[in-house]
Amino acid sequence: MKAFHRCLLAAAAVLPLSVFAQADAGQCIVAGRLNGAQWAPKFAGVQLLGGNGQAVASADKKSVSAVKQVKLARPALLSRCDGDKPLFDADNEPAGKKEPVPSLAAGVFDVEAVGYPKLRTGGELVELRVRVPADKVTVSSR
């Protein structure tokens, strides 16, 4: 009976990973926030790489839009891609329950597109649409 419960728990732990991995190809991570041509801030553990594999040092949109890969030193939360659309306004929504969420493990990943959702307080997010290998999707607690 204990072996059955262990097997059931193992299956329950793996199921969410496979569900997240098969989600829509529009999976994004947020690299940081731009205010003009300045990072405000760029998230620690996120390194943007150009086509030649070199780090992108500049924060201007032309340079950031040319990003081809992202190197993550630690897991980053995966989210739905908003592109340049305004972000959802949840000010009048009740706080959600904190549950495990899908994240992308540390490593180097291909960037398919860069979006800049505008923030109401000024500036804009740098949203990276990434190619997500199924074996690199993990679950993180918030």
Q: Within 10 A of 14 (CB to CB), how many other CB atoms are there?
A: 10
- Predicted local confidence at residue 1, as pLDDT: 41
The pLDDT score that the predictor gives to residue 98 is 83
Number of separate domains in the chain: 1
pLDDT of residue 9: 33
Higher pLDDT, 58 or 90: 58
**Which has more confidence, 97 or 70?**
70
pLDDT at 102 > cutoff 90: yes
Segments forming the whole domain that contains residue 96: 2-140
Per the CB < 8 A criterion, the answer to whether 107 and 138 are in contact is no
Residues 6+ apart with CB under 8 A from 110: 68, 69, 130, 131
**Angle of CA points 41, 102, 56, to nearest 5°:** 35
